Amino acid sequence: MPRTAREVMVPLDEYPHAFEHQSLRDAVRLLDTAQIRFNNTTSMPRILLVFDDMNRLVGMARRRDILGGLEPAYDPELDSTHPEAHFKTEIDPNLTDLAGDENPERLRRKLDRTLSEVVRELEGQVDVDDSIMKVVRELVGKDTHIAAVLDDGQVIGVVRTLDVLRTLTEDLI
């Protein structure tokens, strides 16, 4: 059974990633065509890693983050000092029928938005030589499906809950 992050990671060159200046359209294409092979199985990724132009990890974009970039904007984010910020309420999902954002041209324009507009922090990070149980603690502790694997501060791959769980239980089931 593998004992380190290195042994259960998907190398960066085999995991879908993009740059923050790329479009949501690019992200959709990358996620749609990517297939990750690990331990004799193939799966489709849920998450795209996002880097800046200096190849530094900026964060991640999940499929639902990309969908959120296509969602109608009813209310711009209110600055916390704005008087109405204290009264912010949930948006009624039925308003989508009134927004008319199913208009193909409007959706095309939204697909031109950059990944930087939807990227979120990737909280999980482990060292390449961390034990598999430390990897488990990081994934569970950060409540995430994925963690970056670092070697001397550089991202060299990712560990996914899917692969860690499969690896830990393959001899037990």
* Residue pLDDT, tens place only, 113-170: 999 999 999 999 999 999 999 999 999 999 999 999 999 999 999 999 999 998 888 7
The amino acid present at 129, given as its one-letter code, is D
Q: What are phi and psi of 36, to 5 degrees?
A: -105, 125
Number of domains in the chain: 1
Question: Could you identify the residue written with the tokens 């970039």?
Answer: 69
d(CA 110, CA 27): 13
Domain interval for residue 94: 5-169
Looking at every residue in the chain, the average pLDDT score rounds to 85
CATH of the domain at 30: 3.10.580.10
Can you tell me the mean pLDDT for 34-38?
Answer: 88
38: alpha, beta or left? (left if phi > 0; alpha if psi -120 to 50): beta
Measured CA to CA, the distance from residue 39 to residue 29 in angstroms comes to 25
Predicted pLDDT at 7: 93
| pLDDT at residue number 16 | 95
Token pair belonging to 21? 């200046």
The yes-or-no verdict on residue 49 having pLDDT over 90 is yes
Sign of CA dihedral 44, 45, 50, 51: negative
Give me the pLDDT at residue 3, please: 86
